[in-house]
Structures are given as C-alpha cells and as structure tokens.
Chain A
C-alpha cells in the first residue's frame, strides 16, 4: 500500500494561496489521489480526487505531475474557516477494497 508523507503543520494568512504537497513514491498504477478536510469535532470531508494532471473544483485544485510520485493541493485565497487538518490519501478499491487509509495529515492554521 502506498505510504504518504505530508507536512505536519502549515501557517498562512487570510487571502493567501496555500499549497500542501504530499509525497507518495510507491503509488501503484491503479491508485487514485484523494484529499480530505477535517474540522475540529467533525468527520473528514472529501475535497478532491485525481489520477493524473490537474483537477479543479469549486473548493480546490489538485496538481499531479506525470510520475505521480507527489501531488499538491492548492487552496486559493484561504479564509479563517479553512483552518483544518488536510489528509492526503492514496489507494484504490483494487488494492485495498473500500477502506481509506489515513496518515497524520497537515494541520493548516489560517491567521487574520
């Protein structure tokens, strides 16, 4: 199963763009890259998922280089409400069934 490495914490200010990079050197061919967000006292929430190149939705963008050994979650113009833990997950139903495998995540703190 692919292991992920991401920074434990990051600080930012309101209005800035935040980029969180995740390393996953042993990603398998079938694996997708998925990011979840978790606020205190809540369950994780799906943000975005991709396989390769770039994916964008109303919340974030996900950049995946050609070798897929890393990925970058980009949050445009963050606000205080974006303060949360962000998890990078790599896997597929082919390799691990339905279960999600969480790492330690990146604790993002947005300051005024």
Chain B
C-alpha cells in the first residue's frame, strides 16, 4: 500500500512569490491534515479536511495560506505571497477516522525555503 506522498520534496522561492504544495493521502483515507515546523519550533497543526470539507482550519496562520481538497482526494496548500517566516517543513498526514484518536500517517514533508 502506498503511503502519503508530498510534492515537491524541496522548494526554494523568493519572497513575494507563490508556491503550491501537493499532498496525496493514502487511498481511502477521508481525513487529511496539514502541519508545519518552522525553524527551531515544534510541529504545528494547520488544518484538517474530512473528504473535501474543512473540518478545522484553526491553525492556518493568515489569509496568505489557502488549502483545497477538490473531490476529496489529493490536497494542495498554496502560499501567496510567500514571506520569509513561511520557511519550514510542511507535513501532510492522513487517517481513516479520527474518532478514538486513530493514528495518522505522515508524508515525508516539503521543505520550503523563502529567500
């Protein structure tokens, strides 16, 4: 069974540019999550999709971040315009069900560097 995949693995962009990160969850997983770790900080939750609906987007830092999950399959996270403080590693995770706090399967992450 394929795991969670993320693309690209690494992105270097200039301040003010736009970047789109993609996440493909494990097939059949309705729940998809985005997290990120900025330099020296802990991994922080960004948002949670259940199928194509945003269940919880309380962790999104500001309106420069836009997440979508059209059709309830893969998801994209767009940062526009990117700022220096957006640099970090963005993780995607998926799970079958969060009732009972089931385990989440993480992708390898996308390392974003904003210069």
Contacts and interface: CB of A to CB of B under 8 A. Distances in A.
Nearest to B46: A99
Interface string B92-115: 110100111101111111000000
Given A43-B107, A100-B45, A102-B35, 17 more contacts: A34-B103, A42-B109, A43-B109, A44-B43, A46-B105, A87-B43, A93-B100, A97-B56, A98-B33, A98-B50, A98-B98, A99-B33, A100-B93, A102-B42, A102-B43, A102-B44, A103-B42
Given A43-B91, A93-B99, A93-B100, A99 B48 contact: yes
29 contacts: A32-B101, A41-B109, A42-B108, A43-B91, A43-B92, A43-B109, A44-B43, A44-B91, A44-B106, A45-B106, A46-B103, A46-B104, A46-B105, A49-B101, A92-B101, A93-B99, A93-B100, A97-B98, A98-B31, A98-B33, A98-B56, A98-B98, A99-B33, A99-B45, A99-B48, A99-B58, A100-B93, A100-B104, A102-B42
A42 B101 CA distance: 22
A34 B101 contact: yes
Across the A-B interface, give the 6 residue pairs with the lowest CB-CB distance, nearest first.
A43-B106, A98-B98, A46-B103, A99-B45, A102-B43, A32-B101
A102 B89 CA distance: 14
A34 B95 CA distance: 15
Main secondary structure on A side of the interface with B: loop
Interface residues of B, number: 29
A42 B106 CA distance: 8
Interface of A: 32, 34, 41-46, 49, 87, 91-93, 97-105
Nearest to A93: B98
A32 B106 CA distance: 19
